[in-house]
Structure 1
Amino acid sequence: MNVKYLLLASALMCPVAMAEDVPEPNPVTEVGVVKIEWQNPKDFRDIKTSNELQSRFETRLFETLTKNINKQAQKILKPDQKLDMKVTDFDLAGDMRPTFSAAPGDLRIVKDLYPPRATFSYTITEKGNVVIAGDEKITDMSFMHNTRRFNNSPFQYETTLFTDWLQKSVAPKL
C-alpha cells in the first residue's frame, strides 16, 4: 500500500521537476529605434518591487526604460540607424529594506549609497551594417545631485543613467 502512494507521489512530482528545467525566455522590448534583450532578469542585482507582482513590475520597468531610451536615441541616431542592447545586469537606484510587517511590503530606500547601475553590450547598425559596438558597465554616482531629475517620473534615475551614457559615450562616436 505504501508503495502505491510513493509511486503516485513520484509520478505527480515528475512533471513539476521537468517544468522547472525549462528556461524562461529572456524578455525583449522594442520601441522605435531601440531593441533591448533583458538577459536572465532573475539574476539581476536589484530589480525588486515593493508593492506589486514582480512579473508586472519587471514588464513595466523594461517597457518604460525602453521607451525613455528611445526618446534620447532618436535625437542622437541618424534616420537609418538602430540601437540593439543586451542587458546582463541591472540595479535600480536605492535598496530594498524589510518593514517587518509595519507596512504591506518592503520599502525602497533611495540614498547616495545605492546608485543605479547597468551592465550591457550594444550595437548600433545602419542598413544592417554595424557602425558601433561595445560592452558597457555604467553607474551614476551623482544621481541624487542632478537638478534635472526632479520630475517624479517613473524610473527617473535609471532613465538618466542611460540618457547620460547615450549623450556622453555614443553621440561623440557618431
Structure 2
Amino acid sequence: MNVKYIMLASVLVSQIVMAEDAPLPNPVTEVGLVKIEWQNPKDFSDIRTSNELQSRFENRLFDTLTKNINKEAEKTLKPGQTLQMTVTNFDLAGDMRPTFGATPGDLRVVKDLYPPRATFSYTIKEGDQVIIVGDEKITDMSFMSNSHRFNDRPFQYETTLFTDWLQKSVAPKL
C-alpha cells in the first residue's frame, strides 16, 4: 500500500517539474495605439516586488506602463500611427533591500544611485507601412531631480522614462 502512495507522489512531482520547465509565453499588453511584448521578464534586471505576488505585480506593472505610454503616444504619434515595442530588459527605479525580518518582504529603496532603465526595440507603423524602426537603451539619471513630476502615481519614474523617450527621440523623427 505504501508503494502505491510513493508511486503516485513521484508521478505528481514529475508532472509539476515538467510543468515548471515548460516555457511561459511572453506577456503582451495592448492599449490604444501601443502594443508591448515583455520578452522573458524573469530575466529582467529588476522587477521584483516587495509585498505582492510576483505574477500579479508584473501584470500590474506591464498594464500600467502600457496605459501610460499610450497616453503619451496619443499626443506624439500622428493619426493612423501605432507603436509596437519589444522590451528585452527592464530595471525599476530603486533597489530591493532585505529587512531581515522587520517586515514580511524586502523594501525598495529609491535613490539617485538606482535609476530606471529599459532596453527595447520599437516599430512605428502607419497602417501597414513601417515609418520608424529602432533599438533603444534608455536611462533616466535625473529621475529624482525632476521635482515638478513628483506625485503618487504608480511607477511614476518608469513612466517618465518612456514619456521622455517619446518626446525627445520619437517626436522629432515624425
RMSD: 1.6
The reply to whether residue 134 of structure 1 matches residue 134 of structure 2 is: yes
> Which of structure 1's runs of 4+ aligned residues deviate more than 6 A?
1-6
Which residue matches 1:74?
A: 74
Report the more deviating stretch, 121-130 or 1-10: 1-10
Which residue matches 2:165?
A: 165
Which residue matches 1:155?
A: 155
Which residue matches 2:106?
A: 106
Q: Deviations over 1:104-139 (max 9, x none)?
A: 211100000000000000000001111000110000
Which residue matches 1:46?
A: 46
Code of the residue aligned with 2:119 in structure 1: it is T
Query: TM-score, with normalisation over the residues of structure 2?
Result: 0.94
Query: TM-score, with normalisation over the residues of structure 1?
Result: 0.94
Q: Deviations over 1:135-169 (max 9, x none)?
A: 10000001000122211211110000000100110
State the percentage of identical aligned residues.
79
CA distance, structure 1, for counterparts of residue 71 and residue 62 of structure 2? 14
CA distance, structure 2, for counterparts of residue 149 and residue 115 of structure 1? 15
Which residue matches 2:124?
A: 124
How far residue 16 of structure 1 moved from its aligned partner, in angstroms, is: 1.9
CA distance, structure 2, for counterparts of residue 4 and residue 72 of structure 1? 60
How far residue 14 of structure 1 moved from its aligned partner, in angstroms, is: 2.5
Which residue matches 1:86?
A: 86
| 1:2-21 aligned within 5 A | 7-21=7-21
How far residue 9 of structure 1 moved from its aligned partner, in angstroms, is: 4.8
Report the more deviating stretch, 76-85 or 145-154: 145-154
Code of the residue aligned with 1:60 in structure 2: it is R
Report the more deviating stretch, 155-164 or 145-154: 145-154
Code of the residue aligned with 1:115 in structure 2: it is P
SS at structure 2 position matched to 1:46: coil
Structure 2 unaligned runs (5+)?
none
SS at structure 2 position matched to 1:71: helix
